[in-house]
Homo-oligomer: A and B are copies of this chain.
Amino acid sequence: MSRSERLFDLLQVLRRHRRPVSGRVLAGEIGVSLRTLYRDIASLQAQGATIEGEAGVGYVLRPGFLLPPLMFPPEEIEALVLGSRWVAERADGRLAEAARSALARIGAVLPPDLREEMEGSALFIAPGAPIPADAIDPAILRKAIRTERKLALRYSDANGTASERVVWPFALAFFDQVRLLIGWCELRDDFRSFRTDRIATVEMTETRYPTRRADLLRQWKQVKYAQHAQESFSAE
């Protein structure tokens, strides 16, 4: 049995045991040395498995690695499918792909009748006006937001004037035609928004920005609210 097959097996074995199991036992069950078992566990963890090992106790597979079966009422399925279709249609390639992939994951743990519901869903996103293509990879923006990293941008404003900035990005706003990166601009020492299609180049730096993303968002909302009370921006 090859290593890759063994990993699938190990996963199943772990799933079977609810109580902590020692590495020695696991190694015995799949017929491999203890050292190799440790390596296998590490492999699975590297792929996102939340296998908890405690010295003196053993291993437990915490829920959250494998997707458990899910149930949704039909209307919720429709909502999920419609939302994912919107993302697949209107967001950039990576995110669109992710939407399809997420849906496929959900589909795989649905009972057959619900899966049919999902596949045959009759709510569609109509193709709209073409969305200006980004020169840069938006996945970088999202990653910088997630990890709270500073971004070095080259940007052209509405007049075509170019500038270079360092920005602390904390949100991405999707309009029908345009996407705005929202962040704190070190150049202006203030909040600024940037159309993603006008960003010429972007580089994610190693430096983390000093404020937490959620706080920046909160502050930004307050400023916005003070500026234009009617122009609100709802998060949820």
Which residues of A pack against B, CB within 8 Å? 2-5, 7-8, 11-12, 15-16, 18, 43, 46-48, 50, 62-80, 82-89, 91, 94-102, 104-112, 114-115, 117, 119-120, 122-129, 139, 142, 145-146, 170-176, 180, 213-214, 217, 232-236
Contact = CB atoms under 8 A, between A and B. Distances in A.
Q: Which of A102, A170, A180, A213 has the most CB of B within 10 A?
A: A102
25 contacts: A3-B4, A4-B43, A5-B43, A12-B105, A15-B104, A16-B97, A18-B119, A48-B71, A63-B107, A63-B109, A63-B111, A65-B111, A66-B68, A67-B70, A75-B98, A78-B95, A79-B84, A80-B84, A80-B102, A83-B86, A86-B174, A106-B106, A123-B174, A124-B174, A176-B176
A229 B219 CA distance: 48
A180 B36 CA distance: 42
Given A101-B12, A146-B74, A213-B122, A108 B171 contact: no
Given A100-B16, A172-B123, A180-B126, A70 B111 contact: no
A172 B16 CA distance: 26
B128 A145 contact: no
A176 to B, nearest CB: 5
Contacts of A111: 50, 62-65
Contact of A128 (B127, B170, B175): B175
Given A79-B87, A80-B102, 15 more contacts: A2-B3, A3-B4, A4-B43, A15-B101, A62-B111, A67-B68, A68-B68, A76-B105, A78-B142, A79-B96, A80-B80, A82-B83, A88-B236, A122-B142, A126-B175
B88 A87 contact: no
A76 B48 contact: no
